[in-house]
Amino acid sequence: MQDTITLIVTVGGFLFAMYSAYILYKNPTPFFPTSRKKIRKMIAFAELKPTDIVMDLGSGDGRIVLMCADSVQQAIGIEINRGLCYWGKMMAVLTNKKNAVFIVQDFWETDISHVDVLMLFCIKSEMAGLKEKIQKEMKPGSRVVSNIFSFPNWSPKKTDKNVYLYEVPK
């Protein structure tokens, strides 16, 4: 019996390690949950309006999307990790956030042209490429709120404790 338990734990640990390595390979940005306090600051920076469409690139467990949903027309989470995306979908149903949508997708392949406010946490090495995508695809005057990392060669309109607000140039 002890040998069976040891085998199950060993195989389970190996499978978990392999899955973790695969997720890190597919998604180099790790999941770091953002605190509610920081999300409230990000929302305040964005000055959300009832007509806004908000998108969180790399939405993780969906907490930013869910906190924005009551204040906007639509809140969209883009997440490459299926498990986290499905968690967000489940939480949207449980909290009755009918305007919260979660999509399993690589954010590099996501259309952001219709988005009024873009929320994100992205690793520093990806910020320059993401800046190009944003300035090419988003409407002038759209707002971008970045958690932790700033964009190179783009001055924020407002910043406080690693939260940065940008406006897409006209």
Residue 11 has pLDDT above 80, yes or no: no
Which carries the bigger pLDDT value, residue 76 or residue 123?
76
In the predicted model, what is the mean pLDDT of residues 147-169? 89
The SS3 assignment for 168 reads coil
Question: Do residue 84 and residue 2 come from a single domain?
Answer: no
99-133 pLDDT tens trace: 999 999 988 899 999 999 999 877 767 778 888 99
Q: d(Cα 36, Cα 69) in Å, to the nearest integer?
A: 14
Question: Do residue 76 and residue 114 come from a single domain?
Answer: yes
Handedness of CA 163, 75, 113, 60 (dihedral sign): positive
Report the number of distinct structural domains present in the chain: 2
Provide φ and ψ at 64, rounded to 5°. Answer: -70, -45
Question: Do residue 114 and residue 159 come from a single domain?
Answer: yes
Question: Do residue 63 and residue 146 come from a single domain?
Answer: yes
Question: Do residue 133 and residue 163 come from a single domain?
Answer: yes
pLDDT of residue 18: 65
Residue 150: give its domain's CATH number: 3.40.50.150
Question: Do residue 56 and residue 136 come from a single domain?
Answer: yes
Domain limits for position 11: 1-30
Question: Do residue 120 and residue 157 come from a single domain?
Answer: yes
The SS3 assignment for 158 reads strand
The SS3 assignment for 92 reads helix
